[in-house]
Amino acid sequence: MDDEILGATMRGEKLKEHGYSVVLYHCPLAALRCDLSRFDLAILDFQMPGLNGRELFLRMRALGARFPIVLLSGGVNTLSHEERVLFVRCIDKGMPIGHLLETIAKVLDPNQAPDPCT
């Protein structure tokens, strides 16, 4: 979920090239209207119109989402500890796409212990 359409589309294409099934939402409210049981992972931005990443995270959990949720944001270091620890991992958008791919693989690996953002 990212309101930055070009960047999200490019990341989505790269994830598809690596075998992941990708559904992109550019509006947080639209993401809340989908069937969350279809997903194994969500990647959220923080600064979005309508709802921020924390608010979207909490609403998704309230709707029954039990999958890992990763934060991918340009302002990770500006967020409070309380905001960052909600997410299983926090990645700055400036990191290479390989870092995102490694993070996804680790998060989806059932043998990995949780390592919330700190």
Structure confidence by residue, pLDDT tens digits, 57-87: 999 999 999 999 999 998 888 998 999 999 9
pLDDT averaged over the chain? Answer: 89
Q: Domains plus CATH for the chain?
A: 5-108 (3.40.50.2300)
- Angle at the Cα of 43 from the Cα atoms of 104 and 73, rounded to 5 degrees: 105
Q: Measured between alpha carbons, how far is 18 from 12 in angstroms, rounded to an integer?
A: 10
Reduce the DSSP state of residue 76 to 3 states and report it: helix
pLDDT over threshold 70, residue 116 = no
Q: What is the pTM of this model?
A: 0.87
Q: How far is CA 102 from CA 22, 50, 107, in A?
A: 16, 30, 9
